[in-house]
Structure 1
Amino acid sequence: MFTIEDAQNLIPWLKQICVEIKPLNKRSQVLSHQIKTLESKLKGNGTNEAHQSLAEMQKKLTNTTNLINDKLIIVEKKGILIKSIDPGLFDFPHLKDGKEVYLCWHEEEDFLEFWHDINSGFAGRKQI
């Protein structure tokens, strides 16, 4: 469980994680698209060079995905719940009046300003 202060103190760090993940996520999307395009061209008619290019792209995608996952694992190990990486949306388990709720932070927010019940999600956010 996080206090409001503990969660707020992690916001600058989380903002940096979001900054680091964004280009990796974009690269992952571009590589996935390129791989699908090349795979469709290769069906039954690919040259050895094209297959080699596909293998290189797949390796780059795997490496990029691993970099993203490494960052997300660090976030999760701190007890922060990842709801989305693009845009970054995170929940911090918190006790409010003896009841478990989530402090909710969206990457476009400068401060931790909202909370919600564990079942209501982003749409049920309320001002802290």
Structure 2
Amino acid sequence: MQDDTNLPPLAGQPMTKKDLLDQMSLLSIPDDTKVVSIEEARAELDAAKRILFTLQALQDEAHDLTEELELIIEQLAPNHPHIIEVADQLGRLVKEWQTVGDKIEKMAARISGFEPGCLEWHGVVDGYLVMYSWCEGEFDIEWWHPLDSGIDSRRPLVEA
């Protein structure tokens, strides 16, 4: 028989960090991680989405440049001006990626997927430490999942 005592219940009521039943569960996440209320996560959603969409565009552009570089490197000498130009563009994209990525690291949000774009925040549901979850196409943060699972295990938030 499976022991379900450590599994979060299915009710889905968002709470605050002070409502956490097991303070020791905070040891399972990095020290600099912020645990937020659903209201705090929602306040960050628009800014986090803009960062995610910027990173998705940079990723697409980097993919295209990488493909172009792979094609022209077979036809031109490694020091050809066009190869150097494309490689420099790719280098600038990597730097921009890092700069934009640093912005999300300063927030409580984290990117959990690019296709589709998904964002997560550490939060508390029914007294348990969980991840609030938002994915592209959704209007608001209305989902959560246990820390040890991913977006495939999302459950709806139940708000009074």
TM over 0.5: yes
Percent identity reads 24
Aligned-residue RMSD, C-alpha: 1.8
Q: In structure 2, list runs of 5 or more residues that go unmatched.
A: 1-34
Taking a change above 3 Å as real, the CA distance of residues 41 and 113 of structure 1, as seen in their structure-2 partners, is same
2: CA distance between counterparts of 1:58 and 1:70?
A: 19
Q: Could you list the structure 1 runs, at least 4 aligned residues long, displaced by more than 4 angstroms after superposition.
A: none
1 CA distance for matches of 2:92 and 2:143? 35
In structure 1, what is the Cα distance between the partners aligned to 2:43 and 2:115?
A: 22
1:85 aligns with 2:114: yes
Q: How far apart are the structure 2 equivalents of 1:80 and 1:47?
A: 41
**Aligned length in residues:** 123
Q: Alignment partner for residue 9 of structure 1, among 16, 37, 43? A: 43
Provide structure 1 residue ranges, at least 5 long, that are not aligned to the other structure: none
Q: Does 1:111 align with 2:140?
A: yes
TM-score (norm. length: structure 1): 0.85
Is the contact between residue 102 and residue 117 of structure 1 (CA under 8 Å) also seen in structure 2?
yes
Which fold has the larger relative contact order, with Cα–Cα distance below 8 Å and residues 6 or more apart in sequence? 2
Question: Who wins on radius of gyration, i.e. which is larger?
Answer: 2
Kindly provide the CA deviation profile for residues 46-102 of structure 1, in whole angstroms up to 9, marking residues without a partner as x.
285xx2211111110111122122212211221322212343211100122332110
Residues 1:124 and 2:158 are matched in the alignment: no
